[in-house]
Amino acid sequence: MPVPAPVLYPPFNIVRLSHVEFAVTDLAASRAFYVDTLGLQVTYEDKERIYLRALEERGHHCIALVKSDTPVVNVLGFKLFDEPDLEKAKAFFDKKGLPTAWVERPYMGKTLRTCDPWGIPLEFYVKMDRLEPIHQHYKLYKGVKPLRIDHFNCFSADVNGAVDFYNEIGFRTTEYTEDEETGHIWAAWMHRKGGVHDMAFTNGLGPRLHHTAFWVPNPLAIIDLLDLMATTGYLHNIERGPGRHGISNAFFLYIRDPDGNRIEIYSSDYQTVDPDHEPIKWDLKDPQRQTLWGAPAPRSWFEEGSIFTGVELKESHLKAQPIIAP
Amino acid sequence: MPVPAPVLYPPFNIVRLSHVEFAVTDLAASRAFYVDTLGLQVTYEDKERIYLRALEERGHHCIALVKSDTPVVNVLGFKLFDEPDLEKAKAFFDKKGLPTAWVERPYMGKTLRTCDPWGIPLEFYVKMDRLEPIHQHYKLYKGVKPLRIDHFNCFSADVNGAVDFYNEIGFRTTEYTEDEETGHIWAAWMHRKGGVHDMAFTNGLGPRLHHTAFWVPNPLAIIDLLDLMATTGYLHNIERGPGRHGISNAFFLYIRDPDGNRIEIYSSDYQTVDPDHEPIKWDLKDPQRQTLWGAPAPRSWFEEGSIFTGVELKESHLKAQPIIAP
Amino acid sequence: MPVPAPVLYPPFNIVRLSHVEFAVTDLAASRAFYVDTLGLQVTYEDKERIYLRALEERGHHCIALVKSDTPVVNVLGFKLFDEPDLEKAKAFFDKKGLPTAWVERPYMGKTLRTCDPWGIPLEFYVKMDRLEPIHQHYKLYKGVKPLRIDHFNCFSADVNGAVDFYNEIGFRTTEYTEDEETGHIWAAWMHRKGGVHDMAFTNGLGPRLHHTAFWVPNPLAIIDLLDLMATTGYLHNIERGPGRHGISNAFFLYIRDPDGNRIEIYSSDYQTVDPDHEPIKWDLKDPQRQTLWGAPAPRSWFEEGSIFTGVELKESHLKAQPIIAP
Amino acid sequence: MPVPAPVLYPPFNIVRLSHVEFAVTDLAASRAFYVDTLGLQVTYEDKERIYLRALEERGHHCIALVKSDTPVVNVLGFKLFDEPDLEKAKAFFDKKGLPTAWVERPYMGKTLRTCDPWGIPLEFYVKMDRLEPIHQHYKLYKGVKPLRIDHFNCFSADVNGAVDFYNEIGFRTTEYTEDEETGHIWAAWMHRKGGVHDMAFTNGLGPRLHHTAFWVPNPLAIIDLLDLMATTGYLHNIERGPGRHGISNAFFLYIRDPDGNRIEIYSSDYQTVDPDHEPIKWDLKDPQRQTLWGAPAPRSWFEEGSIFTGVELKESHLKAQPIIAP
């Protein structure tokens, strides 16, 4: 079963993924991880929350950390192209029978909160406070030198359904894994902004957030981060990598934040702006799709993910399909 | 005088720059430069012409080299989003009183040939033959490992006018240099595909092509190219760099092909997909705009450029403005 | 039990490790691996043998490949400082009751063949044919850009004994792993030339050659090799890495040649020329000694090694000690 | 006139260059440069002096900064192999009629102060306080990540004489520039520790210290330093580079400290431990000897240097020979 044809004129215009909000249990520990170790920049903080941006970003934040008793993902945020897209988005989700609400968010203009059919909490906005560029303030470059948020990846118990839904709102598939025995899509990578993905889905107990990725300038920044984490008490936060993905061709590293949220450090995928850019199909049995060099991912990588607020996971999803690739 | 506001809904939708055609005087010498030294891949060649693509490109070519008695630039090519954009583009140029024609081009679908108000020959198309991906055929990676064509930069005797015209067809300005004494724009960088530029203009005897740029994975690929060129007879083809641009923040090198066409090797600018991405203004008197580290460009870099076919350069342009920055 | 004090005035002066000779079963397959993939340079070849050097070496060869029915390691070669050192070396080995002989070797001057007390075949020489420098012939740089042979590592059933013997002939220990329960040295790294090692020993069924290492300029060369091997049929020759060693602090990759000989690609250890350079002790229970980032080595890495010519391995060695670190 | 044959058994055994002491006029400014910008580590500081080491060094210091009214170079320090070498060194310099004295130096054992025949102040020692390794304390890696002091380079009004003298005490020439018209050696690079040089001499008003070099892991560390210096007020301290030297094949950058002392950042020369390592001859008229890629050095680089304490420069030296290469 091939992926659906791209929708060139979607119902509303999503520019790119924008930000994630994590409810975290220890704000100081999260700050030590995201700021002191990864090198993200604080744009606001008080005792309850911290906002962060990466070094080439001008929007106010790509991560919001809010203090909580329980770790959970509060929202995946996306930037829309123009004001009318907000109303068009609302109309689309209303028509689908999904809950919509205009919400107030600090540092952001009019914001639509909704969710996808499986419950992933989504927010869409056009305006976020713009900050002065800091990409040439090189004294700020530390840790892994994170330049920008790159993508989300979610576990899904219905990848085919997810691909259809996100395709309908304009995400174009760049690569996908097919289970040739069943004909089902095992995983798919879908973009808006011209890279390999803004959003990906992979078969598993879902919906859960598999990881959030940051773009860094080159593989040496990732090696620097590994050396730093390995010698500053974060050895066990290193989960997988470094390596080259078959899918996306990016150089990668997966690490875990203090609450277990998985962060991918990602570099050097490729440009996909052509509307006739053909998706690449991978066979589920090809181990090089995950790591071109052949190293397997650890079990935790296939099994563990972050819970979205308000989502009740159903055991049936877990039973229905194996969550570890053969 | 600030740059004009971006046109969010331009008269037709340009996806990105696509290709350049160089008339060259010695096809073998050009092949030695572009293929054996830079590492571009031949997609077609005979005794009269060579077509080349970079390693992550799937379109048939980003450079066409055609044998000629005189070196000249035959066309700058741009990819449009969808078939209707071709007619919309024709209508736009017709209305401007600029010459338009449907032309036949090998490996390409319906193609519109026209020019900008100063005579730069432009061609627009939607479909070009798509080739199998080779970005993971790592045995092909040689020279500077060119991944994709990135941008054109043109000398212009009327940068303000050029910025207005290209802004009208949807190019958004990301950075520009202002001559604070006259209030004129000295140079501007304008994009369609979400990087710093697809097209740039710089004050000088124009219109001429200043350079064509290729994106490479990281600065070490550029250092490798320098070592290679310096020891294989291309020492004098190295013109400027390596360095970090203030404008664009990219790591760069300028080299000259056997006919004198300037090629920029370019890496690591930043993402500009946000429609409210604010342009950065530089002062003409700030030497760091060109090279963040302060090294000046050589005189040739300010003075020499490639001629476009059919364009008669007027002396008055040269006299009107100094072509070397103070 | 600490390592013995360095012998500042050894009985003869070894400059550095020099070369290895592998008997290989398929000369063409070995050539494809060492020349076309790794990028070593052929200095002589005929139907029976191939000699190779790395890019900054001026000696005639660092690897000799000789056609054979059975894969075996024929010799580990070391360069001595001056002619009198040859006689001094002979006297030393004679006194130890070890076999010595003057042998003829192509491209080499007077050569002493002997072996260590466990049977590792050693050859010592002062003069080898010197070739023109090629380190600035950058068109030759391919594969992993190997610059020079760096070290040998051998399995030993008696690491304490090996350390004592090689210490006596002037090798100085830079790092070692101690089994704190038994007080035995589990592994040791010993140098002559001012890096972390020319020769290392690790506990296991021995004597066998664990690996031969080549120095490369930086981690990106190793990433390039991984990409190349993974896409040219050498996926299963990648055994371990890339990673950072705790011991030596070098960036590493282990691969296997067509006969199973293990090659390490190695970059960026540190300078150890000071005669009072203190060895670093690691605990056998510390997993970061092997990979600073925590990734374990595969079982094959602990168990498999290359046989030395003329050495009969005794089962008792294997039984005496576990060969996999706890 | 070729360089003299290496002295394999010199009168005393120098292990390597060790340290330099700079009298500086503003200790805080020097600290901001060496510590906050370059990333050297403070091992001791008070209001009068700062001692620094690089990241892989275990000796107490490679730079001493002492507060002074006038900037001057107080000493170039070298480590000897063993205690008897101290007396042998004294005997050698005494015999040459050069002043010798046993001096007390903090953190160092018995120290011989002397000078070369042209007045360069030299100190030799065997023991310096050894500190715990920090090369795996990656949180300390900042700035250009300096790993170790690599070499000194001095202006000399008598390069032929300097080469003869330093050759006599065991320095072996690895590369040199010959003025083919006069047959004189224009410049020479001489080593003890197995790299291209511990000490170099270049024709000019001398003796003066041309520069002190630090080894860094790879070219990207140098690019990072350029970005940092260019955006933190050190733009005008960048003097030359980055580039590849023809001589030494190293990747380099020259910067100036707040008192004008020149520091080279240096990476990736080659191993020279073989006693029969042949020196490479360059022609003074070959511009690639300085920068393989052809970029010329600025005038300041040929003319400016640091004064050694107690040395009176004679005008006649300046007049005798041109100090800028043709």
Residues of chain B with pLDDT > 70: what percent? 96
Can you give the C-alpha Rg of chain D in angstroms?
19
**Could you tell me if A130 lies within 8 Å of chain D, comparing CB atoms?**
no
Please give the Cα distance from A39 to A22 (Å, whole number).
17
Please give the Cα distance from D178 to D185 (Å, whole number).
4
**Could you tell me if B214 and B149 are in contact, meaning their C-beta atoms sit under 8 angstroms apart?**
yes
Please give the Cα distance from B204 to B208 (Å, whole number).
9
Q: Under CATH, what is the fold of the domain A14-131?
A: 2,3-Dihydroxybiphenyl 1,2-Dioxygenase; domain 1 (3.10.180)
With 50 as the cut, is the pLDDT of residue A248 above it? Answer: yes
Compare CB distances from C278 to D56, D58, D268 and report the shortest one's residue.
Answer: D58
**Could you tell me if B189 lies within 8 Å of chain D, comparing CB atoms?**
no
Q: Respond yes or no on whether the N-terminal peptide bond of residue A242 is cis (omega within 30° of 0).
A: yes
Considering Cα of A16, then A21, then A26, then A31, what sign does the dihedral take? positive
Per-residue confidence (pLDDT) for residue D180, from 0 to 100 = 87
With 80 as the cut, is the pLDDT of residue A314 above it? Answer: no
Per-residue confidence (pLDDT) for residue A102, from 0 to 100 = 98
Per-residue confidence (pLDDT) for residue C17, from 0 to 100 = 98
With 50 as the cut, is the pLDDT of residue D169 above it? Answer: yes
pLDDT digit string (tens) for A270-306? 999 999 999 999 999 999 999 999 999 999 999 999 9
Band of the pLDDT at C134, cuts 50, 70, 90? Answer: very high
**Could you tell me if C14 and C114 are in contact, meaning their C-beta atoms sit under 8 angstroms apart?**
no
Domain ranges for chain C: 14-138, 142-320
Q: Is B260 exposed, middle or buried (0-12, 13-18, 19+ CB in 10 A)?
A: middle
Q: Is D49 exposed, middle or buried (0-12, 13-18, 19+ CB in 10 A)?
A: middle
Q: Does domain B14-135 have CATH number 3.10.180.10?
A: yes
Given an 8 Å threshold on Cβ–Cβ distance, is B294 in contact with D220?
no
With 80 as the cut, is the pLDDT of residue B324 above it? Answer: no
Q: Write the CA distances from B18 to B64, B128, B136, B201, D107, integer angstroms.
A: 11, 10, 22, 17, 64
Note the residue count of chain A. Answer: 326
For tokens 């008070």, what's the residue?
D46
Compare CB distances from A137 to D141, D224, D231 and report the shortest one's residue.
Answer: D231
For tokens 């690569």, what's the residue?
A175
Q: Quick one: angle between helices B219-230 and D219-230, nearest 10?
A: 110
> How crowded is residue C140: how many other Cβ atoms within 10 Å of its Cβ?
13
Mutate to test the interface with C, among D107, D274, D288 (most CBs of C within 10 A): D274
Least confident residue range of A104-108, B124-128, D33-37, D179-183: D179-183
Least confident residue range of A46-55, A63-72, B305-314: B305-314
Please give the Cα distance from B138 to B133 (Å, whole number).
12
Q: What is the mean pLDDT of residues D204-216?
A: 97
Per-residue confidence (pLDDT) for residue A2, from 0 to 100 = 80
Please give the Cα distance from D163 to B136 (Å, whole number).
52
Given an 8 Å threshold on Cβ–Cβ distance, is B220 in contact with C224?
no
pLDDT digit string (tens) for A180-231? 889 899 999 999 999 999 999 999 999 999 999 999 999 999 999 999 999 9
Strand partners, D219: none
Given an 8 Å threshold on Cβ–Cβ distance, is A138 in contact with D232?
yes
Q: What is the mean pLDDT of residues D238-266?
A: 98
Strands B172-179 and B280-283: parallel
Q: What is the mean pLDDT of residues C209-228?
A: 98
SS3 category, D67: strand
Considering Cα of A25, then A28, then A32, then A38, what sign does the dihedral take? positive
CATH of domain C142-320: 3.10.180.10
Given an 8 Å threshold on Cβ–Cβ distance, is B274 in contact with A59?
yes
Band of the pLDDT at B180, cuts 50, 70, 90? Answer: confident
Q: Write the CA distances from B78 to B15, B23, B219, B271, integer angstroms.
A: 7, 18, 27, 20
Please give the Cα distance from C73 to C306 (Å, whole number).
7
Q: What is the mean pLDDT of residues B221-227?
A: 98
Strand partners, C111: C103, C125
SS3 category, A230: helix
Query: What are D111's two structure tokens?
Result: 């120290």
Strands in B2-62 per DSSP E: 14-24, 41-45, 49-53
Per-residue confidence (pLDDT) for residue B316, from 0 to 100 = 54
Q: In chain D, what residues touch A134 (CB-CB under 8 Å)?
A: none
* CATH classification number, C14-138, choose in 3.30.450.40, 3.90.1150.10, 3.40.190.10, 3.10.180.10: 3.10.180.10
Q: Does domain D14-129 have CATH number 3.10.180.10?
A: yes
Given an 8 Å threshold on Cβ–Cβ distance, is B231 in contact with C136?
yes
Separation in Å, CA of D270 to nearest CA in chain A? 22
Residue of B nearest to A18 (CA): B274
**Could you tell me if B227 lies within 8 Å of chain C, comparing CB atoms?**
yes
With 60 as the cut, is the pLDDT of residue C321 above it? Answer: no
Q: Write the CA distances from C323 to A20, A209, B62, C303, D29, integer angstroms.
A: 48, 41, 56, 7, 55
Longest dimension (CA), chain B: 53
Q: Respond yes or no on whether the N-terminal peptide bond of residue C242 is cis (omega within 30° of 0).
A: yes
C208: Cα separation from own chain's centroid: 11
Q: Respond yes or no on whether the N-terminal peptide bond of residue B242 is cis (omega within 30° of 0).
A: yes
Tell me what ipTM this predicted complex has: 0.95
* CATH classification number, A141-320, choose in 3.10.180.10, 3.30.200.20, 3.40.50.300, 3.20.20.150: 3.10.180.10
Can you give the C-alpha Rg of chain A in angstroms?
19
**Could you tell me if C244 and C251 are in contact, meaning their C-beta atoms sit under 8 angstroms apart?**
yes
* CATH classification number, D143-320, choose in 1.10.3720.10, 3.30.1490.20, 3.40.50.720, 3.10.180.10: 3.10.180.10
Q: In chain C, what residues touch A227 (CB-CB under 8 Å)?
A: 244, 292-293
Q: In chain C, what residues touch B230 (CB-CB under 8 Å)?
A: 138
pLDDT digit string (tens) for B7-66? 999 999 999 999 999 999 999 999 999 999 999 999 999 999 999 999 999 999 999 999
Please give the Cα distance from B255 to B213 (Å, whole number).
10
Please give the Cα distance from A74 to A61 (Å, whole number).
15
Q: What is the mean pLDDT of residues A113-138?
A: 98
Mean per-residue pLDDT of chain A: 95
Phi then psi for D248, rounded to 5 degrees?
90, -20
Per-residue confidence (pLDDT) for residue D1, from 0 to 100 = 62
Strand partners, C7: none
pLDDT digit string (tens) for A59-106? 999 999 999 999 999 999 999 999 999 999 999 999 999 999 999 999
Nearest alpha carbon to residue B20 among B228, B212, B244, B259: B212
Higher pLDDT, C309 or C314: C309
Per-residue confidence (pLDDT) for residue B319, from 0 to 100 = 43
Q: In chain D, what residues touch A219 (CB-CB under 8 Å)?
A: none
Given an 8 Å threshold on Cβ–Cβ distance, is B16 in contact with A274?
yes
With 60 as the cut, is the pLDDT of residue B154 above it? Answer: yes
With 90 as the cut, is the pLDDT of residue A177 above it? Answer: yes
Mean per-residue pLDDT of chain D: 95
Q: In chain D, what residues touch A138 (CB-CB under 8 Å)?
A: 224, 227-228, 230-232
> How crowded is residue C99: how many other Cβ atoms within 10 Å of its Cβ?
12
Per-residue confidence (pLDDT) for residue A80, from 0 to 100 = 98
Per-residue confidence (pLDDT) for residue C1, from 0 to 100 = 62
Band of the pLDDT at A322, cuts 50, 70, 90? Answer: very low
**Could you tell me if A313 and A307 are in contact, meaning their C-beta atoms sit under 8 angstroms apart?**
yes
Q: In chain C, what residues touch B138 (CB-CB under 8 Å)?
A: 224, 227-228, 230-232
Query: What are A303's two structure tokens?
Result: 């099994």
Q: What is the 3-state secondary structure (H, E, C) of B257-271?
A: CCCCCEEEEEECCCC
> How crowded is residue B295: how many other Cβ atoms within 10 Å of its Cβ?
21
Q: Is D22 exposed, middle or buried (0-12, 13-18, 19+ CB in 10 A)?
A: buried
With 60 as the cut, is the pLDDT of residue C147 above it? Answer: yes
Separation in Å, CA of B278 to nearest CA in chain A? 9
**Could you tell me if C278 lies within 8 Å of chain D, comparing CB atoms?**
yes
Query: What are B8's two structure tokens?
Result: 């969010």
Given an 8 Å threshold on Cβ–Cβ distance, is B193 in contact with A147?
no
Residue of A nearest to B281 (CA): A133
With 80 as the cut, is the pLDDT of residue C323 above it? Answer: no
Per-residue confidence (pLDDT) for residue D322, from 0 to 100 = 39
Longest dimension (CA), chain C: 53
Residue of D nearest to A220 (CA): D220
CB contacts < 8 A, B to C, total: 33
Band of the pLDDT at A324, cuts 50, 70, 90? Answer: very low
Q: What is the mean pLDDT of residues A19-35?
A: 98
Q: Is D275 exposed, middle or buried (0-12, 13-18, 19+ CB in 10 A)?
A: middle
Longest dimension (CA), chain D: 53
Per-residue confidence (pLDDT) for residue B325, from 0 to 100 = 38
Given an 8 Å threshold on Cβ–Cβ distance, is B141 in contact with C220?
no
Residue of D nearest to C293 (CA): D136
Per-residue confidence (pLDDT) for residue C187, from 0 to 100 = 97
* Neighbour-count burial for A179-189, b at 16+ CB within 10 Å, e otherwise: beeeebbbbbb
Per-residue confidence (pLDDT) for residue B243, from 0 to 100 = 98
In DSSP notation, D119-134 reads: --EEEEES-B-B----
Residue of D nearest to A232 (CA): D139
**Could you tell me if D55 and D147 are in contact, meaning their C-beta atoms sit under 8 angstroms apart?**
yes
With 90 as the cut, is the pLDDT of residue B176 above it? Answer: yes
Considering Cα of B130, then B134, then B136, then B141, what sign does the dihedral take? negative
Residues of chain B with pLDDT > 90: what percent? 93
Please, which chains are in contact with C (at least 3 CB pairs closer than 8 A)? A, B, D
Q: Write the CA distances from C155 to B276, C2, C187, C256, C308, integer angstroms.
A: 63, 20, 9, 16, 11
